[in-house]
């Protein structure tokens, strides 16, 4: 058992995600309830390096459970990636008397927490906050459900105009290297296909879909494409279809950052509240260097280095479901 935690720091880092505020609120109030002082760190690791830190009270998080974005602001800090930046961050944790750090963020942010833990034997707890849902060991990440619902809402609207014009739409969604948003939004919105990074046969998939003669029984088609710096995403597929099948009327919609905004769903608010609460329980139990996640509706602790391996598998059944239901 390490030293007793009297003060925790909390920060959000990387891409913002709806529900982060509900999580900050839960961390703050659970800590205060347990007699632990809370320091809010602004702008992620950047703010930690620059000392943008202030004590949070219960009132600091009033009226935030329903708000999108993050009241702590966020950043992707280049300086923190350097050895000097990491040392400055650690020195400030010491200077502000912060005994443990709670990091709410995605892969890169939790990897940063891991570096602090490794380099300085410093206690960190990670909380999965990203719309991408790409952290291993948790069934869902904070923000994923809201983003998924946002995408479905947008695709429903695109369907109206696609049907009116007999068009094929390629709709690009976020997810970085993970296809959870694309695959599940495709199922929920009744899309004809999803092109995801986990499916190596994506090019063939597109051909299969076209050669099936999408116009025979339908007067619109929607293909959800995961953003991908490797193949150019939706633009690339649209161009291919335009060249190879000039008879089709093709359009592209890139949903972009609107997927990251908005009021969190009830699911995300509850998830964020449970995980934030559990992070303080974890520290009390002496847990260190773990991500707190949820699996089968139970709170679980996952070693951070395991969570960030970028190998969370997508359920192959989801691919079959979409394939069968879109015939």
Chain residues that interact with ligand F6P, rule: CB under 6 A: 14-15, 106, 130-132, 174-176, 227, 260
Buried b (16+ CB within 10 A) or exposed e, 124-154: bbbbbbbbbbbbbbbbbbbbbbbbbbbbbeb
CB of 249 to ligand F6P, least distance (A): 29
By C-beta, is 147 or 241 nearer to ligand F6P? 147
By C-beta, is 30 or 131 nearer to ligand F6P? 131
Ranges of H-type helices in 12-68:
20-33, 44-50
Q: Which residues are catalytic?
A: 132
Q: How far is CA 262 from CA 69, 70, 76, in A?
A: 8, 11, 21
By C-beta, is 14 or 264 nearer to ligand F6P? 14
Q: Distance between CA atoms of 277 and 195, rounded to whole angstroms?
A: 37
Q: Distance between CA atoms of 134 and 177, rounded to whole angstroms?
A: 8
Q: Distance between CA atoms of 69 and 326, rounded to whole angstroms?
A: 35
DSSP strand pairing (7-12 vs 37-41): parallel
Query: Which residues are bridge partners to 299 per DSSP?
Result: 294
CB of 81 to ligand F6P, least distance (A): 15
CB of 225 to ligand F6P, least distance (A): 13
CB of 177 to ligand F6P, least distance (A): 9
Q: Distance between CA atoms of 51 and 246, rounded to whole angstroms?
A: 58
SS3 140: coil
By C-beta, is 32 or 252 nearer to ligand F6P? 252
Q: What is the DSSP letter of 296?
A: T
In this structure, the dihedral spanned by the alpha carbons of residues 130, 226, 198 and 76, taken in order and rounded to 10 degrees, is -40
By C-beta, is 30 or 142 nearer to ligand F6P? 142
Helices 266-284 & 144-165 angle (0-180, nearest 10): 160
CB of 281 to ligand F6P, least distance (A): 27
CB of 77 to ligand F6P, least distance (A): 12
Q: Distance between CA atoms of 9 and 113, rounded to whole angstroms?
A: 12
């Amino acid at each position: 058992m390490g030293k007793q935690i009297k003060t925790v720091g909390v920060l959000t880092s990387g891409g913002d995600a709806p529900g982060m505020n509900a999580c900050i609120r839960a961390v703050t109030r659970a800590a205060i309830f347990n007699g632990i002082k809370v320091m809010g760190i602004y702008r992620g690791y950047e703010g930690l390096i620059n000392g943008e830190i202030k004590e949070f009270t219960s009132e600091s998080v009033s009226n935030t459970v329903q708000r999108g974005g993050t009241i702590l602001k966020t950043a992707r800090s280049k300086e923190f990636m350097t050895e000097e930046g990491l040392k400055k961050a650690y020195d400030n944790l010491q200077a502000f008397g912060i005994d443990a750090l709670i990091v709410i963020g995605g892969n890169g942010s939790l990897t940063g927490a891991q570096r602090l833990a490794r380099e300085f034997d410093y206690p960190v707890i990670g909380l999965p906050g990203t719309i991408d849902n790409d952290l291993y060991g948790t069934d869902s990440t904070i923000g994923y459900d809201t983003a998924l619902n946002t995408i479905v809402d947008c695709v429903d609207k695109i369907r109206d105009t696609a049907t009116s014009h007999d068009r094929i739409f390629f709709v690009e969604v976020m997810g970085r290297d993970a296809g959870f948003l694309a695959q599940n939004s495709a199922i929920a919105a009744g899309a004809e296909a999803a092109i995801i990074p986990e499916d190596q046969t994506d090019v063939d998939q597109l051909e299969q879909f076209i050669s099936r003669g999408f116009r025979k029984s339908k007067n619109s088609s929607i293909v959800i494409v995961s953003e991908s710096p490797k193949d150019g995403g939706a633009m690339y597929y649209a161009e291919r279809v335009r060249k190879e099948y000039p008879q089709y009327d093709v359009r592209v919609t890139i949903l972009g950052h609107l997927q990251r905004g908005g009021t969190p769903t009830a699911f995300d608010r509850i998830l964020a509240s449970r995980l934030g609460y559990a992070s303080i329980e974890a520290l009390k139990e002496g847990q260190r260097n773990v991500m707190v996640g949820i699996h089968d509706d139970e709170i679980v602790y996952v070693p951070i280095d395991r969570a960030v391996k970028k190998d969370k598998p997508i359920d192959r059944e989801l691919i079959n479901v979409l394939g069968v239901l879109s015939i």
